[in-house]
Amino acid sequence: MNVTRNLFTAALVAAGLAAPALAQQEIIFGISATPSSLQGQSAQEFARRANEKLGDLGEVKVFDSSQLGKDKDMLQKIKIGTMHITLPSSIMPEIAPEYAIFDLPFLVADRDHLGKIDDTFFKDVLVPAAEQQGYRPLAVWENGFRHITNNVRPVNTPADLDGLKIRTPNSSWRVAMFGEYGANPTPMSFSEVFVALQTGVIDGQENPLTNIAGAKLQEVQKYLSLSNHVYSPAYPTVGVSVFEKLDPEIQTILAETAQEVALWARDQGASAEGTLLDELKGAGMEVNTADRQAFVDASAPLYEKFASEVEGGQDMIDSVMSLAGGGS
């Protein structure tokens, strides 16, 4: 009997030695943006850097262009564990209203100001707000300063938007903004925008230059009005419960790499703006610079809305403004 037990034990040991190593952790990163947009490039840079550090621990795989669903779908998937990371932007106020601070027109002065927001306000206010809903943004990535395109006329003042069907993200705050400016805001997923412009379902849209060029909207839009009305970040985001089940070393690598790429993306966004503008002009778009003060004046009700509807809203506005050393 002892001989039989010893043989059985030896067989188990041998089987264990012969068994393959544990499978490498596959980390699924889904985004809605195109691969040529800055969001797409940032996701790929993140994967490259993270995979170098992860080695045999795991591998980040990026799925762009809404292959894994729309932003809302992907946020749900990182909560249930069928994905690990996604890159929401304008939809974040629907998760936590504090994120609507980035929907206040002309609040972010420049990228230096954004860096100060990232260092303090993001970590102290925005991350905890999202975590209460089961999400954890790992960093603030560049999405960019947004501009308006359309096929009807140049937009110099809010009055030029009167009656135009302008696509907005699925954000109640962006809808309120363009409603305040006199447009007919039409929420729509970004993956649907090109065809909607091509077929005349909408007249125009608003996005950073990188998204406009990345989605080739110059092929279906005539006018580009440089408004810089909003700086909208993108947030590499994980579901808290799913993320915390990963190997702690993997968690650390992903979080640290997200912060590294935040700086890389900001530099890329700044350096690419002139090239992208030349590219869009070269494709035949007519470009004008909008009247900033006219839009600032028309934006006052949006600040009042944020102050009254978001708990601590006025303090948040004051805090972010103080980081720029002045008002908007």
**CATH code, domain with 219:** 3.40.190.170
| Residue 1 falls inside a structural domain | no
| Complete DSSP assignment for 152-204 | S---SSGGGGTT-EEEE-S-HHHHHHHHHTT-EEEE--GGGHHHHHHHTS-SE
Is 84 in the same domain as 51?
yes
Q: Which domain holds residue 304?
A: 146-231+275-323
| pLDDT attached to residue 1 | 45
Say yes or no: 266 and 177 in one domain: no
Given a cut of 50, whether residue 328 has pLDDT beyond it is no
Q: Answer whether residue 5 is part of any domain.
A: no
86 in helix, strand or coil? strand
Residues 287 and 261 placed together within one structural domain of the fold: no
Same domain, 303 and 200: yes
Distance CA 205, CA 151 (A): 10
Question: Mean pLDDT throughout 307-316?
Answer: 97
Question: What value does the mean pLDDT take over residues 155-174?
Answer: 96
Task: Convert the pLDDT of each residue in 122-132 to its tens digit.
Answer: 999 999 999 99
Give 297's contacts (C-beta < 8 A, 6+ positions apart): none
- For the segment 297-311, what is each residue's pLDDT rounded down to a tens digit? 999 999 999 999 999
pTM equals 0.87
Q: Do 120 and 267 sit in the same domain of this protein?
A: yes
Based on the domain organization, do 130 and 201 belong to the same domain?
A: no
CA–CA distance, 276 with 263 (Å, rounded to integer): 20
Indicate the burial class of 34 (C-beta count within 10 angstroms; 0-12, 13-18, 19 or more). buried
Pull the structure tokens for residue 204: 């125009």
CB neighbours of residue 43 within 10 Å: 28
* CA–CA dist 298, 265 (Å, integer): 31
Same domain, 48 and 89: yes
Residue 266 confidence (pLDDT):
95
Q: 45-83: per-residue pLDDT in tens?
A: 999 999 999 999 999 999 999 999 999 999 999 999 999
pLDDT at 182 exceeding the cut of 60:
yes
Q: What is the pLDDT of residue 17?
A: 38
Of 42, 29, 28, 40, the closest CA to residue 191 belongs to 40
Question: Mean pLDDT over all residues of the chain?
Answer: 92
Task: Judge residue 240's burial from the number of C-beta atoms within 10 Å of its C-beta, 0-12 exposed, 13-18 middle, 19 or more buried.
Answer: middle
Query: What pLDDT sits at residue 102?
Result: 95
Domain-located, residue 291: yes
The 10 Å Cβ neighbour count of residue 325 is 10
What distance in Å separates the CA atoms of residue 266 and residue 261, rounded to the nearest whole number? 8
Query: 323: closest CA among 108, 46, 135, 153?
Result: 108
Tell me the percentage of the chain whose pLDDT exceeds 90.
90
Shared domain check, 294 and 155:
yes
> Do 198 and 244 share a domain, yes or no?
no
